[in-house]
């Protein structure tokens, strides 16, 4: 199918883009990479009056590190982040990006675009939630900052109002004693996940703190503190093998998976996938934190 007719504007200043979007009164859509939006338009699942192309706005192209955070502007491509040495300061992002679609899609797709699209089976929203990233939303009233864990309200639904643009995301850089894990199961590489996990472990004075974010198993990324489960596995032996973690994580997996299932995977199958992935990646993250890898 072809997209329904729409007007197209390409402002060079952020203030102009915000004004253009406000003028549409909810009938506009912002486009940067277009890898999520273009198929939606082609299937006529969205029929915006106006597309506001933000690619000419120079200030949205920044990829910088400032202090303890990596700043990614709204038009920065996923492939650029994947290849830039700066992204090495956020290892979880580096682990996740190769799972996002295919290289050709990442060469056009943007990090912020994936966050704004809010597909519950997408990788980057899970990364942002696991790291408790900070998103900047810009509208007629100025800027406001929202935690990633408060940004996602449901499938394709976020804290963005119709007159706001997601202009950047700030991800905390890793510190000494941090370890990370990321994995997913999909029918084919590049497909959205049937189930996936992003994991962060922090060792502080020998005590483990662990965060698990699951995706593909609910209508949004789901984040849980699993420090207690990790501590239960390592107490006495110092061993956080996937087998030792399986028992402590079982109740967490039962609670997180709330999808009814579909033709590709039942709810119980997704729960079993999540449990296996969570145990394996939490074990890896613990070893990386312990060994300084």
Boundaries of every domain in the chain? 7-53, 58-172, 178-291
Pairing of strands 28-31, 50-53: parallel
**CATH label, 178-291, candidates 3.50.50.60, 3.30.390.50, 3.20.20.70, 2.40.170.20:** 3.30.390.50
Residue range 155-186, pLDDT digits in tens:
999 999 999 999 999 999 999 999 999 999 99
Pairing of strands 195-204, 207-215: antiparallel
Residue range 202-233, pLDDT digits in tens:
998 878 899 999 999 999 999 999 999 999 88
d(CA 288, CA 293): 5
* Residue 6: band (very low, low, confident or very high) from pLDDT cuts 50, 70, 90: very high
* Residue 293: band (very low, low, confident or very high) from pLDDT cuts 50, 70, 90: low
58-172, CATH topology level = 3.30.465
**pLDDT given for residue 245 in this prediction:** 87
7-53, CATH topology level = 3.30.43
| Contact criterion met (CB below 8 Å) for 205 and 237 | no
Buried b (16+ CB within 10 A) or exposed e, 159-189: bbeebbbbbbbbbbbbeebbbbbbbbbbeee
| Contact criterion met (CB below 8 Å) for 49 and 3 | no
Q: Which helix (H) or strand (E) holds 194?
A: none
Pairing of strands 152-154, 195-204: unpaired
User: What is the pLDDT averaged over residues 279-287?
Assistant: 95
**pLDDT given for residue 263 in this prediction:** 80
Residue range 109-141, pLDDT digits in tens:
999 999 999 999 999 999 999 999 999 999 999
Indicate the pTM of the whole model.
0.94
DSSP state of 191: S
Backbone angles phi, psi at 163, to 5 degrees: -105, 15
Instruction: Say whether pLDDT at 192 is over 90.
Output: no
């Amino acid at each position: 199918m072809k997209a329904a007719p729409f007007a197209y504007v390409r402002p060079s200043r952020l203030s102009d883009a915000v004004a253009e979007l406000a003028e549409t009164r909810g009938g506009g859509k912002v486009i940067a990479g277009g890898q999520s939006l273009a198929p939606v338009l082609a299937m006529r699942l969205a029929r915006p009056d106006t597309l506001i192309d933000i690619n000419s706005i120079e200030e949205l192209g920044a990829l910088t590190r400032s202090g303890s955070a990596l700043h990614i502007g709204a038009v920065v491509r996923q492939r650029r982040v994947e290849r830039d040495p700066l992204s090495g300061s956020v290892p979880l992002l580096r682990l996740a990006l190769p799972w996002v679609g295919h290289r050709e899609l990442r060469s056009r797709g943007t990090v912020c675009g994936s966050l704004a699209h809010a597909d519950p089976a997408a990788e980057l929203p899970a990364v942002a939630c696991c790291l408790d990233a900070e998103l900047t939303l810009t509208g007629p009233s100025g800027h406001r900052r929202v935690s990633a864990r408060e940004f996602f309200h449901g499938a394709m639904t976020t804290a963005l109002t119709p007159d706001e643009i997601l202009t950047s995301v700030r991800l905390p850089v890793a510190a000494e004693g941090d370890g990370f894990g990321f994995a997913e199961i999909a029918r084919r590489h590049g497909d959205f996940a049937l189930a996936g996990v992003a994991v962060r472990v922090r060792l502080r004075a020998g005590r483990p703190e662990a965060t698990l974010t699951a995706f593909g198993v609910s209508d949004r990324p789901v984040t849980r503190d699993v420090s207690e489960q990790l501590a239960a596995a390592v107490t006495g032996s110092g061993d956080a093998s996937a087998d030792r973690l399986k028992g402590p994580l079982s109740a967490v997996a039962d609670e997180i998976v709330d999808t009814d299932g579909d033709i590709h995977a039942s709810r119980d199958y997704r729960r079993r996938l999540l449990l296996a992935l969570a145990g394996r990646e939490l074990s890896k993250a613990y070893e990386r934190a312990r060994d300084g890898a």
